[in-house]
Structure 1
Amino acid sequence: MAISLYFNKRKSLATGITVCGAGIGALVFAPLSEFLLEKYDWRGTMWIISAILSNGVVLSASYRPLAETVSSQCNTTEPVKAKNKVDQCGKCSSCQRLYLLFKGMFDSFVKCPTLLLFGMSCFFVMLGFFIPLNFLPALANDVNLSSDKGALLILALGVSTTVTRVLIGYITDKPYANALTINYTSLLIGGITTCFVPFCTTFASLTVYAILFGAVIGIFVCLRSILMAELLQIRGLNSSYGFIGLSMGISIFLGPPIAGALSDVSGNYDMTFYFAGISICLGGMICLPLRRISDWENNRSDRADLHVKKNENNRSSSDNQSSAYTISE
């Protein structure tokens, strides 16, 4: 999200380069953790990894705040008003203050259907996001593939998502590229192919799927913040990203247990991948009307701003007339 604030030119490429760090980290830390566990046991491993991760604090401290950009189609200032109202009430308990703060935040979000639809899309996508990552090696074992080949599938997925994040960032910066169309098209393709995973019984077919799904999740991760900045504008992006993060966190919490329960009930992983594919497809389908809804909200916001300016001009002209009349008397 910070990239959207600091870059105006080649924003998509900058975002792609940034988020590819997660893919590289997944490739590096898996063998690194195994090496550290063999050499320093789990306590030493946790110390070393914690020290590595602490460098993120130093790097994030290098960011400097920018001037706030006043441009938004969604009214995200109401949570602040609710917070100020709560602060004026000294008799309110902490729970009441928290309730009023969240109530003001969600009341403002309800007035922004673009944000609600995008949050629903992210919710369904994240329901199935981690299921192939968790169950693909187990499925490979079920079709009589070795554990080494199962690990190679995850490696192929990680390489694919890392490369795709940079590549899609470069492509999205081009004037002919439509980030929203790329996003929902890739989600629909990823969801449909995930539904056909139970029919893949060879290492070659599973490798093709792993590469394809890695590209899909790379596109989704790269374009998520770009689409938020494009559809919702910069102002209020922090609170909007928090709402999207909340919906994604809930789905991440629910997705893998549901998939595991389906696997236990059916006795295989077919229903697990069907569930993941359908949820990802739903996330892509919800994005289809987002552009029209966002344009409608922009037009509504422009008309409201024009009405406010017209009233202010009428008020100032009437004040000037009354002042001139008083002076003439």
Structure 2
Amino acid sequence: MTAAQVEGSPPDDIDSSYSWFRLFIGVLISTISGVGMWAVLVILPRVQIDFGITRAEATLPFTMTMFGFAAGNVLFGRVVDRLGIVASLAIATTLIVIGYLAASVAPSLWPFALSHLLIGLGSAAGFGPLVADISFWFKKRRGVAVSICASGNYLAGTVWPPIVRFMMDKYGWRATIVGIAVVCAVAVPPLMYFLRRRAAANNAGANQVVTTTQQAFGISPNALQWLMAIMGLGCCVAMSMPQVHIVAYCADLGYGVARGAEMLSLMMGAGIVSRIASGFIADKIGGLRTLLLGSFLQAVALVLYLFFDGLVSLYIVSMLFGLFQGGIVPSYALIVREYYPPQEAGARVGTAIMATIIGMALGGWLSGAIYDWTGSYHMAFVNGIAWNALNLTISVWLLTRPGLPRLSPRTA
């Protein structure tokens, strides 16, 4: 038996019943800790009124959440590579609780926004770093496992908005976010107990890199990382327009905040279906081709928003948007696992996810600014379509590289 097998998980644990149980626990943790990304969107209109600020200014707390989320994916990705997922989650949960308690007593916009920087930083550990950890426990169904784990973030977007809206209407937004802090403090630590075993990071069978970046694309590993960063920025600036502003958009159209929260929940629910389905697809065609498919379909949904703004049609288009784009972000993690050494997984996945979150932050602010400039969201949707085209262009270019395998490394 090798030292790696003694220190880590034995090969028999790969694709085992424990692997699936670990995935289930991971999804639960991701769903709870993922509240940071979605609660702020629901309370945004109330915060704007209470603080007497513009729409773009009201988006600042979400932007700060995304910046924290972006940095946290890299920071906690490195923590996972060195100390494991439990240490990462313990630190992250503490940051979430502190952030929400501070936000609940914030007297003005800037303290409120800075509190959300901590919330975003802590919420990150339940996304990219947790996805990287889960990827080590699967080989045959890695695409499905990664996509299911990444769906925890969307499950949070499905579960939390209606809860936050109900609590906000009944108790106010300040008391609501105190309640969120309590839930995170009580629910996450017991679940961490089941993730104590270290991932099989050194198991060759589960973590073999069949084709390197140089072999596949004729470029260096860092060059591919930069391209993925640009792609992630483009796709998520586009993605952020409906996700960040659908509640405010519905309020502006006269449908009310409740209808917008329902559309956001529907969008995230459809995204869960999309993410799981994309995992099956990725296990057949690879992460890059799955990314291209999702990016193209997302562009289609954004175009539909330009032509349909009736109440029923917005429900339908929001559902389609969730179905079309849900598999995009997990594809970056799969690309990393297909073309990079396993010991770099946490940091590489975290960096790729960081770029997507920066795209969400930039897109959320930019859409709000365009709204303030033009008085409507029409040009904000056009802006999203343009950024999506950047992602499509790079994806197509990579797929034309002569060394790219015809099949995913796991099916070749």
User: Which TM-score applies when normalising by structure 2?
Assistant: 0.56
Matched, 1:48 2:179: no
CA distance in structure 1 between the aligned counterparts of 2:165 and 2:368, rounded to whole angstroms: 26
> Which of 191, 204, 212 is the matching residue for 1:73?
212
Question: Which residue does the alignment assign to 1:61?
Answer: 196
Contact map agreement 1:137 1:150 (CA 8 A) in 2: yes
Contact map agreement 2:367 2:380 (CA 8 A) in 1: yes
Contact map agreement 2:263 2:315 (CA 8 A) in 1: yes
Deviations 1:180-239 (A, max 9, x none): 223212212212431441321212322222112112331113322112212335353233
Question: Which residue does the alignment assign to 2:245?
Answer: 135
Question: Which residue does the alignment assign to 2:380?
Answer: 272
Contact map agreement 1:117 1:290 (CA 8 A) in 2: no
> Which of 15, 20, 24 is the matching residue for 2:151?
20
Question: Which residue does the alignment assign to 1:96?
Answer: none
Residue correspondence of structure 1 range 1-329 to structure 2 within 5 A: 1-34=132-165, 38=170, 41-42=175-176, 43-55=178-190, 57-67=192-202, 69=204, 71=209, 73=212, 112-174=222-284, 177-293=285-401, 295=403
Given the superposition, is the C-alpha separation of residues 244 and 27 from structure 1 closer, same or farther in structure 2, using an over 3 Å criterion? same
Q: What letter is aligned with 2:374?
A: S
CA distance in structure 1 between the aligned counterparts of 2:402 and 2:149, rounded to whole angstroms: 27
Greater Rg, structure 1 or structure 2?
A: 1
Q: What is the DSSP-based 3-state SS (H/G/I as helix, E as strand, rest coil) of the residue aligned with 1:9?
A: coil
Q: 1:264 offset after TM fit, Å?
A: 0.5
Contact map agreement 2:332 2:349 (CA 8 A) in 1: no
Q: Which runs of 5+ in 2 are unaligned?
A: 1-131, 406-412
Contact map agreement 2:213 2:220 (CA 8 A) in 1: no
CA distance in structure 2 between the aligned counterparts of 1:239 and 1:179, rounded to whole angstroms: 18
Q: What is the DSSP-based 3-state SS (H/G/I as helix, E as strand, rest coil) of the residue aligned with 1:201?
A: coil
Contact map agreement 1:160 1:211 (CA 8 A) in 2: yes
Q: 1:52 offset after TM fit, Å?
A: 2.1
Contact map agreement 2:281 2:290 (CA 8 A) in 1: no
CA distance in structure 2 between the aligned counterparts of 1:112 and 1:28, rounded to whole angstroms: 37
Contact map agreement 2:290 2:328 (CA 8 A) in 1: no
Q: What is the DSSP-based 3-state SS (H/G/I as helix, E as strand, rest coil) of the residue aligned with 2:201?
A: coil
Contact map agreement 2:165 2:261 (CA 8 A) in 1: no
Q: What letter is aligned with 1:54?
A: P
Contact map agreement 1:161 1:215 (CA 8 A) in 2: yes
Question: Which residue does the alignment assign to 1:82?
Answer: none
CA distance in structure 2 between the aligned counterparts of 1:145 and 1:6, rounded to whole angstroms: 45
Deviations 1:123-167 (A, max 9, x none): 111222222112223333333334433233212212101112222
CA distance in structure 1 between the aligned counterparts of 2:290 and 2:380, rounded to whole angstroms: 26
Deviations 1:284-315 (A, max 9, x none): 22111224548379xxxxxxxxxxxxxxxxxx
Q: What is the DSSP-based 3-state SS (H/G/I as helix, E as strand, rest coil) of the residue aligned with 1:237?
A: helix
CA distance in structure 2 between the aligned counterparts of 1:293 and 1:18, rounded to whole angstroms: 30
CA distance in structure 1 between the aligned counterparts of 2:244 and 2:171, rounded to whole angstroms: 27
CA distance in structure 1 between the aligned counterparts of 2:180 and 2:231, rounded to whole angstroms: 37
- Structure 1 segments, 4+ long, off by >4 Å, are 34-40, 68-72
Higher relative contact order (CA 8 A, sep 6+): 1
Contact map agreement 2:147 2:279 (CA 8 A) in 1: yes
The answer to which of 14-23 and 29-38 deviates more is 29-38
Q: What letter is aligned with 1:123?
A: L
Q: What letter is aligned with 2:152?
A: G
Q: 1:270 offset after TM fit, Å?
A: 0.9
CA RMSD of aligned residues (A): 3.0
| Amino-acid identity (%) | 18
Question: Which residue does the alignment assign to 2:41?
Answer: none
Given the superposition, is the C-alpha separation of residues 56 and 272 from structure 1 closer, same or farther in structure 2, using an over 3 Å criterion? farther
Q: What is the DSSP-based 3-state SS (H/G/I as helix, E as strand, rest coil) of the residue aligned with 1:295?
A: coil
Given the superposition, is the C-alpha separation of residues 287 and 270 from structure 1 closer, same or farther in structure 2, using an over 3 Å criterion? same
Q: What is the DSSP-based 3-state SS (H/G/I as helix, E as strand, rest coil) of the residue aligned with 2:234?
A: helix
CA distance in structure 2 between the aligned counterparts of 1:52 and 1:267, rounded to whole angstroms: 42
Q: What letter is aligned with 1:212?
A: L
Q: What letter is aligned with 2:309?
A: T
CA distance in structure 1 between the aligned counterparts of 2:143 and 2:328, rounded to whole angstroms: 12
Given the superposition, is the C-alpha separation of residues 13 and 136 from structure 1 closer, same or farther in structure 2, using an over 3 Å criterion? same
Given the superposition, is the C-alpha separation of residues 196 and 34 from structure 1 closer, same or farther in structure 2, using an over 3 Å criterion? closer
Contact map agreement 1:127 1:276 (CA 8 A) in 2: yes
Contact map agreement 2:201 2:343 (CA 8 A) in 1: no
